[in-house]
């Protein structure tokens, strides 16, 4: 009840000096709005990254021949073979599908244009495993592979690289190492993932690549798609077990292959989002501090202005603690009002950003709770000193104050 | 809350009150040994020229200040050694202040001003409003309860202040130049109200330098240089 009176007095005081109160609250408003926007963007960015990981097939692991380090020296390991891929498909229970890949950077010629592109020999399931979709034409088949037919599927930007169009290339002939390949399909745009742009690759049947183009039966990479609902870490252990057996590695010997987790590439995206969040967090904390100092300043003014009122209240039976509490409550009311406006503003800015930038943005109740907590804490921290000053006023002098 | 039967009917008892202030290099002795006894139901004027120590005495009696030496018993309780919180409680329960400049809260209406002491003593809202209303009616402001001080005349403001002083049913009404800011007609009204309150059994102490105001009291204590110079009964009033 006494507390209610304190809140009432605080609200009266805010109403009596409305403009001043708004100016005072500005720092808190900006601070809290930043916190809300920051958390909304952070949460949204994380959700977006999760979504992209899902879409880009993050559950595909890349197994490479090991260029591993031993005593500071890079060792070239054993090669990966089609046998390894078969063993994985057969024995690694956590793996749903396996794509053996052999790749080389080669000159591709179409008409008068030529270009150095990455040629990848793969089994026909490569598109399904990597979630690639066909934009036009068709994919090659198992029959194409076993017959070592010279057919090619192009990455989305390959026609542009060769200064032509998709339509002009489809059904046409490209020359790789002087061998004529018929273009049977073009993929949808995928975007750069990691350090490699798959849109600039050319896919051909693995057998064709190994026996007609590269002249080598070694693999550069095996893509292994992890079965649904299996943790990536478990699949990695499983793959390691099968390959160590295939490669006859004795216990204690290092792996001669490496298993790459593509999720690491997404860390870059997440880092960018984090940097943005840190930036906003610093704006938020600086404006909360500045706002808090503003609150403290105005509370000191208020205490001076209301010296006489403090004297009256003391004469009527208010204890030092009552007065202390009253002015802390007042500072907190200012901050919480500012916090409320800030939450509304922050939500508005977040909504605007999501519309303009197309980011997914999530305003969480936690963020609102945290923002409220911050405002209250600022009010408490910066309100204590002026309130103490008020509480310590001598009632006789306070009553005499003009 | 009517005056209870206590062991003694003494409201104020002071023994050897001393209080000095340091002003720059010099020490001013505002009170140097004041012994004063005021009994329940008395109407006492404290007079004296400025610098006589009457304000200091009033502050100590009102528990706004503490003596450097000596004892002050209020209603049988030694209050001259109490801490801040206890002293605030004593001010709240035992003393009703009436000031020269009214000292009302400008942002609050008359009713809320009168409620204020009850808020600090933790009286529930319903009872608080009832008692504040009743007290405002008692001082003749039944129709001004929701007016702010700025919407009231000087006399009305002082009535609000008197109502605020009375609402806790204190054992002592302490007025400091209660008519100092009023014109003579209004001043007479307020003094009439005081006489009424006294007749109802309240103990009144009025600090004033106005002989006319002092003449309304039944006893006059004169201070000079921090000591009681004279302590006389007003024969005409005392028998009334």
- The interface pTM score, or ipTM, of the predicted complex is 0.92
Distance CA A184, CA A168 (A): 12
Q: How many contacts, defined by CB atoms under 8 Å, are there between A and B?
A: 62
Query: In this predicted structure, what is the pLDDT of residue B2?
Result: 39
CATH code, B65: 3.40.50.300
Q: Which residues of A touch B88 (CB under 8 A)?
A: 314, 317-320, 322
Query: In this predicted structure, what is the pLDDT of residue B240?
Result: 46
Distance CA A294, CA A24 (A): 6
Q: Does B62 reside within a domain? A: yes
Say yes or no to pLDDT of A68 above 60. no
Say yes or no to pLDDT of A43 above 60. yes
Query: In this predicted structure, what is the pLDDT of residue A36?
Result: 85
Q: B136, B116 in Cβ contact below 8 A? A: no
Residues of chain A that touch chain B, judged by Cβ-Cβ distance less than 8 Å? 1-2, 5, 12-13, 16, 308-309, 311-322, 395-396, 399
Query: In this predicted structure, what is the pLDDT of residue A269?
Result: 60
Instruction: Determine which of A310, A313, A315 to mutate to test the interface with B (most B C-beta atoms within 10 Å).
Output: A315
Query: What is the token pair recorded at A17?
Result: 């000096």
Residue A132: pLDDT band by 50, 70, 90 thresholds? confident
Looking at residues A174-182, what average pLDDT do you find?
Answer: 91
User: What is the residue-averaged pLDDT of chain A?
Assistant: 85
Q: Which of B91, B119, B122 sits opposite A315 (nearest CB)?
A: B91
Query: In this predicted structure, what is the pLDDT of residue A67?
Result: 58
Burial class (CB in 10 A: 0-12, 13-18, 19+), B217: buried
Query: In this predicted structure, what is the pLDDT of residue A61?
Result: 84
Looking at residues A317-334, what average pLDDT do you find?
Answer: 93
Residue of B nearest to A326 (CA): B120
- Cα dist from A202 to A106, A176, A184, B32, whole Å: 10, 10, 11, 108
Residue of A nearest to B167 (CA): A316
Distance CA A207, CA A231 (A): 32
Q: A349, A318 in Cβ contact below 8 A? A: no
Q: Which residues of A touch B97 (CB under 8 A)?
A: 315-316
Residue of A nearest to B83 (CA): A319
Say yes or no to pLDDT of A151 above 50. yes
Predicted TM-score (pTM) of the model is: 0.69
Q: A34, A339 in Cβ contact below 8 A? A: no
Lowest mean pLDDT among A5-9, A187-191, B20-24: A187-191
Residue of A nearest to B88 (CA): A317
- Residue ranges of domains in chain A: 2-52+267-400, 60-261
Query: In this predicted structure, what is the pLDDT of residue A243?
Result: 87
Q: A253, A95 in Cβ contact below 8 A? A: no
Note whether B119 contacts A2, CB cutoff 8 Å. yes
Query: In this predicted structure, what is the pLDDT of residue A195?
Result: 59
Looking at residues A148-164, what average pLDDT do you find?
Answer: 91
Q: A16, A309 in Cβ contact below 8 A? A: no
Low-confidence ranges of chain B (pLDDT < 70): 1-8, 237-240
Residue A350: pLDDT band by 50, 70, 90 thresholds? confident
- Cα dist from A327 to A119, A163, A321, A396, B110, whole Å: 74, 74, 10, 20, 23
Residue A31: pLDDT band by 50, 70, 90 thresholds? confident
Bridging pattern class, strands B227-233 and B219-224: antiparallel
Q: Does B158 reside within a domain? A: yes
Residue among B56, B49, B62, B52 nearest B21 (CA): B56
Query: What is the token pair recorded at B24?
Result: 């720059």
Partnered with residue B174 across adjacent β-strands are: B97, B205
Tell me the shortest Cα–Cα distance from A15 to chain B, in angstroms. Answer: 11
Say yes or no to pLDDT of A51 above 60. yes
- Give A260-275 pLDDT, tens digit per residue: 776 665 666 667 667 7
Say yes or no to pLDDT of A349 above 70. yes
Domain span at residue B146 reads: 10-238
Looking at residues A334-363, what average pLDDT do you find?
Answer: 86
Alpha helices in A57-174 (DSSP H): 82-91, 126-129, 142-146, 158-161, 166-169
- Residue B7 neighbours by CB under 8 Å, 6+ apart: B76
User: Which backbone phi and psi does A386 adopt, to 5 degrees?
Assistant: -60, -40
Tell me the shortest Cα–Cα distance from A383 to chain B, in angstroms. Answer: 22
Q: What is the tally of structural domains in chain B?
A: 1
Distance CA B33, CA B50 (A): 18
Say yes or no to pLDDT of A338 above 90. yes
Of residues A362 and A93, more confidence is placed in A93
């Amino acid at each position: 009840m006494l507390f209610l009176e304190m809140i009432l007095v605080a609200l009266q005081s805010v109403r009596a000096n409305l403009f001043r109160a708004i100016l005072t609250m500005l720092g808190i408003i900006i601070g809290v709005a930043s916190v809300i926007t920051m958390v909304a963007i952070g949460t949204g960015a994380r959700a977006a990254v999760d979504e992209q990981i899902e879409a880009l097939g993050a559950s595909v692991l890349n197994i490479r021949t090991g260029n591993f380090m031993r005593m500071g020296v890079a060792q070239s390991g054993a090669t990966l073979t089609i046998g390894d891929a078969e063993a994985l498909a057969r024995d690694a229970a956590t793996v749903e599908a396996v794509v053996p890949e052999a790749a080389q950077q080669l000159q591709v010629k179409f008409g008068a244009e030529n270009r150095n592109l990455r040629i990848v020999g793969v089994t026909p399931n490569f598109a399904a495993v990597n979630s690639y979709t066909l934009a036009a034409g068709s994919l090659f088949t198992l029959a194409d592979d076993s017959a070592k037919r010279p057919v090619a599927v192009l990455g989305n930007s390959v026609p542009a690289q060769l200064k032509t169009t998709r339509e002009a290339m489809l059904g046409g002939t490209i020359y790789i190492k002087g061998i004529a390949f018929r273009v049977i399909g073009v993929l949808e745009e995928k975007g750069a993932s990691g350090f490699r742009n798959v849109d600039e690759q050319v896919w051909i049947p693995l057998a064709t690549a190994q026996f007609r183009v590269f002249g080598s039966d070694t693999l550069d990479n095996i893509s292994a798609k992890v079965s649904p609902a299996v943790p990536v870490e478990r699949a990695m252990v499983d793959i390691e077990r099968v390959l160590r057996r295939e490669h006859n590695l004795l216990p204690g010997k290092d792996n001669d292959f490496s298993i790459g987790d593509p999720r690491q590439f997404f860390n870059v995206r997440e880092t960018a989002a984090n940097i943005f969040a840190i930036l906003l967090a610093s704006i938020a904390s600086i404006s909360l501090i500045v706002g808090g100092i503003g609150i403290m300043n105005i509370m000191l003014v208020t205490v001076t202005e209301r010296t006489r009122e403090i004297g009256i209240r003391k004469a009527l039976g208010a204890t030092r603690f009552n007065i202390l509490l009253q002015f802390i409550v007042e500072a907190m009311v200012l901050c919480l009002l500012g916090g409320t406006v800030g939450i509304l503003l922050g939500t508005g800015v977040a909504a605007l950003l999501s519309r303009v930038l197309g980011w997914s943005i999530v305003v969480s109740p936690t963020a609102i709770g945290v923002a409220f907590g911050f405002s209250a804490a600022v009010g408490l921290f910066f309100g204590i000193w002026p309130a103490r000053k008020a509480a310590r006023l001598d009632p006789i002098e306070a009553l005499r104050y003009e | 809350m009517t005056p209870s039967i206590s062991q003694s009917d003494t409201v104020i008892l002071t023994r050897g009150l001393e209080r000095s202030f340091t002003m720059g290099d010099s020490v001013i002795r505002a009170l140097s040994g004041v012994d004063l006894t005021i009994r329940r139901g008395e109407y006492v004027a404290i007079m004296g020229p400025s610098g006589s120590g009457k304000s200091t005495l009033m502050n100590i009696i009102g528990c706004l200040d503490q003596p450097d030496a000596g004892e002050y018993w209020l209603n049988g309780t030694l209050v001259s050694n109490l801490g801040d919180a206890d002293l605030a409680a004593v001010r709240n329960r035992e003393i009703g202040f009436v000031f020269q400049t009214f000292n009302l809260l400008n942002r609050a209406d008359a009713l809320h001003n009168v409620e204020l002491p009850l808020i600090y003593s933790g009286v529930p809202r319903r009872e608080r409003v009832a008692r504040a209303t009743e007290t405002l009616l008692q001082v003749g402001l039944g129709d001004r309860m929701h007016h702010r001080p700025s919407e009231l005349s000087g006399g009305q403001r002082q009535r609000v202040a008197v109502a605020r002083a009375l609402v806790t049913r204190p054992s002592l009404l302490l007025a400091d130049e209660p008519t100092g800011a009023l014109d003579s007609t209004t001043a007479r009204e307020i003094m009439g109200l005081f006489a009424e309150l006294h007749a109802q059994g309240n103990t009144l102490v009025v600090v004033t330098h106005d002989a006319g105001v002092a003449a309304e009291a039944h006893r006059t204590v004169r201070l000079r240089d921090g000591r009681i110079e004279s302590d006389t009964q007003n024969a005409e009033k005392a028998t009334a």
